A and B are shown apart, each in its own frame.
Chain A
Amino acid sequence: MFDSDFLKQLEYLSLLSKRMFQGQLLAQRRTMQTGGGIEFSDHREYMHGDDLRYLDWNVYARHGDLLLKRFQEEEDLHVYLLLDASQSMHVETNGAVDPDPPKFTLARQIAAALAYIALADLDRVSIVAYADGVKVVMPLVRGKDQILSVLRFLEGLKCHGEKTDLRRTVGEFVGRAPRTGLAIVISDLFDQEGFREGVDRLRYAQFEPHVIQIHTRSEADPKLLGDVQLVDCETGTEKKVTVTERKLRQYRQLFETFVQDVETYCRTHGLAHTRTTTDVPFDAVLLKMMRAAAVG
């Protein structure tokens, strides 16, 4: 999955992101803290005990005021990739030919790309695989040389779990995360308990959520007709139905409503949202995200 071509594409995307955002992406964001950075922020009154090295002598020479120069402190960003590893991300077709590539593959590719870009920008990256709770966690890593360990981690991930529960996952995740940061949720959002509560908790915990929604084309527009037995791949629930054209029309309508609800929710709360299908290459998804960020 992560071959040399993939790595070249990651490098290309990393360069592209630097050129497009000129250091505005991820780790090169400034924190609101002032401190020992090199970029001037503002002045304040000198107080006893302050380091005289930061006294603004030019102002004192012109105006006789003792003002201390303050600098914005640069610190590396924490990027948390919350990767949905529930069974719904990889539907077993029982040997039947599945026209759509698995969502989990694309999700891991996107996660890898984002991790690479973050590591290249000297940010810290952590990957959390979840289903009905946090399943596997890759601790925060930093530095571009960690990309291989990231890829190995992603490659070793398997889908499991009987259901998807982002709320519970976030609950566990917030308790573990050492610092707030960018929380990128990569999922199909087919969350039995509702994904909104999970994202709300991220926001409440001062994380900056970013939602990447992945689904297959057949999920948006299923090609089923006649008598079929539908099996929920997570819960194993079976449902015998007779699918007619009218039912399909209703299904498509419901799915479209679901997608629009997600978009509306994200837009309402100022969250970045990217929706893609599995037939779209991961680099195209990344480019789409970058363009959206640039416009925003």
Chain B
Amino acid sequence: MIRRFFVGLLFFLLISCGKNEKPIVAFYYWKTIFKLSPAEKEVLRDNKVSKLYIRYFDIGLHPETQDPIPMSPIRFQENAANFDIVPVVFIQNKVMSLPRLNIDDLAQKTIRLVEEMNAKNKIAVEEIQIDCDWTLKSKDNYLRFIEQFKKLSKKKLSATIRLHQVKYFKKTKIPNVDSGVLMYYNMGTIANDSLNSIYSKKVAERYLKSLKKYPLHLDFALPIYSWAIHIREQKVIGLRSKLNVNELKKDANFEKIGTIFFKVKKSNYKNGVFYEENDLLKIEAISSEDLIEMGNDLDKNLVHAPREIIFYDLDEFNIKNYEKNIFKQVISCF
């Protein structure tokens, strides 16, 4: 009883802090095995991170039967109970685009699997997040799935929201969730051009104004990942994540041309990938300045302050690209 009182008091205090309350730092964890490196632990500790959004599994289609099936569920090799865990289920849009999708069945199976994973890993959760880049074609299925999921899971439900879904929400509709997370990345096509597909202020500006009109509470997800786009004969043939630019600079098989491109001078294997002579690697990354810019731009266009800033994604490789206090700097924009 007393404890509840204190919790209530704390809550009251939090609320009464009102506008000055800064959002908390949270992270997405998107790897298939949950095991934190010392550097990752340090970041979590330094930023007092208590909340992790962990990708539990994807839902895709079985290549032969076209039935929805879970893919690469995460395995825990480390105790996650110290954190508030929000399981995230990534649903491929093609699943939601199936014309005869059994929505009840899928919602039930998804909840059952999340619960099974929670039970087997001794994780208690209060919220579940669904991640799906739904389109006009898959809208109806997706919205019904969310309704059904919410009804059955009896948990707080959040969903990721893409920029276009904010701007055109009258067309794309708003899923019936408790809150949304605006993915402030994936702003272009993964293409053989000189633009950054992760973030572009120009592209973002086209959407920012719509934020004020969006009726659902939004927290923000900001990118800290980088990758290289592997291009052969003007065609994108793959994404190479966790590619160390400094290492590329030192590698005689690669030549830096321009600010973001590397050219393969001699065919070679690197990290298990074959690079053919004349292939191009286009590096896409997010600088500290970009992150601050995002924070400021978002703050200028807000109605309600976000409660959380979630960085995508928690990985030693990503963190090493930034100064230690970057997360605090971003939070202070709000």
Q: Do A and B bind each other?
A: no
